[in-house]
Structure 1
């Protein structure tokens, strides 16, 4: 309901009716509609990409560059998946119209994944993950995937038909692009030191 109609327009009554539970269920299990929404946001972020999923994806790679390649390939995969999970739609609504649940979402769902990615990119760049350059590198690496997720596939196919036809090539070229950019950043910051 939150994904379909947003926080303001999804009532507890409608949510409980759809779930087939008594009205008191929201307060009993979550304490409030706001707490239910926060839990739904955190689950939505996990549904889009879970920290355990990311860790499992890279567990077999010792080389940080190979770990990052696997992560980036998966992120591009998210953006080209045909089915859009309800979690993605809820996250999109939240990003476009942030609620009071944003701080909890950041702390409980986004920050742990960002730390994981910062560590990996820091290892690739051979820089401390807390440095501004590593944070910028994360932004440059992940935001294009988010933009690809947001742009409707129909629009992408109409505008760039060759891109829509070969999702594997898109992922491979994106990874090459990001890795070359990270190599340039690493070189620039090694020579600055």
Structure 2
């Protein structure tokens, strides 16, 4: 019983440190956030931070990992893209998820931390974010291939990923500012933002697929 209670206390302390670090990193950035400041905000001693995270870098990586999980984890992509439903429905579900998480989390530290890392990548952050990039790209190419009819390994799909995910990234970065168009967009009903993003994305992908088929037909003539 004592051991179980100790584990509960340890996990509670870890979460408290993680939340305190997230808030400070979102506000001040990695360079200006010290373990001492985190310890003070979390009301723990420095030894607790070292015990749970090993180092300042380890704490930052843990914060980034939690932020990524809260925004759009690889499990979210796998669940949606590998589902048994038409590709346009998968795209709609993915767009809905991104808009919903961006809207709900705009005042939370996890979006601001991810935005800061996206705008000024650090070596500490890349260790956390890079390993999943390849799998995420593969999953997105799989979905776009289903919509466009273009083979998933064709380079034509690479610009599609940028065109589709850029608005998602802007939704992520938008909450860093107090005012402006991005803030106004996030104040709109989620279903309105989702519908417009989805319509533009689906139409764009279908047009890329149509042009691809025209080029393929011309090449065969």
TM-score range, shorter chain: 0.7 to 0.9
Between 33-42 and 77-86, the greater mean CA deviation after superposition: 77-86
> Which of 35, 38, 61 lines up with 2:61 in the alignment?
38
Alignment pair present for 1:116 and 2:139: yes
Post-superposition Cα deviations, 1:147-191, rounded to whole Å, max 9, x if no partner, equal 13323574228977xx95443222112211111111110011122
Structure 1 window deviating more from structure 2 (174-183 vs 69-78): it is 69-78
What is the TM-score normalised by the length of structure 2? 0.74
In the alignment, which residue of structure 1 is the partner of 2:76? 53
Q: Could you report, residue by residue, the CA deviation over 1:46-88 in whole angstroms, capped at 9, with x for unpaired residues? A: 1111222333445654222211121122223334447432111
Where 1:131 maps in the other structure, the secondary structure is coil
1:21 and 1:35 map into 2 onto residues whose CA distance is 17
Match of 1:75 in 2: 98
Is residue 30–residue 36 contact of structure 1 (8 Å, CA) maintained in 2? yes
Q: Please point out which of 128, 131, 143 is paired with 2:166.
A: 143
Matched, 1:5 2:19: no
Cα distance per residue 1:8-54 (max 9 Å; x no partner): 11111121232233312333333321122122112211111122233
Q: Is the 8 A contact 2:170 2:182 kept in 1?
A: no
d(CA) in 2 for partners of 1:82, 1:32: 27
**Shift of residue 101 of structure 1?**
1.9
> Secondary structure of 2:32's partner?
coil
Structure 1 Cα separation of the partners of residues 31 and 188 of structure 2: 38
Distance 1:124-1:108 versus aligned 2 partners, 3 A rule: same
Higher RCO by CA contacts (8 Å cutoff, separation 6 or greater): 1
1:65 aligns to 2:88 (yes or no): yes
Alignment gaps of 5+ in structure 1? none
Counterpart for residue 155 of structure 1: 180
How far residue 98 of structure 1 moved from its aligned partner, in angstroms, is 1.9
**Larger CA deviation: 67-76 vs 123-132:** 123-132
Give the TM-score normalised by structure 1. Answer: 0.83
- Alpha carbon RMSD of aligned pairs, Å? 2.7
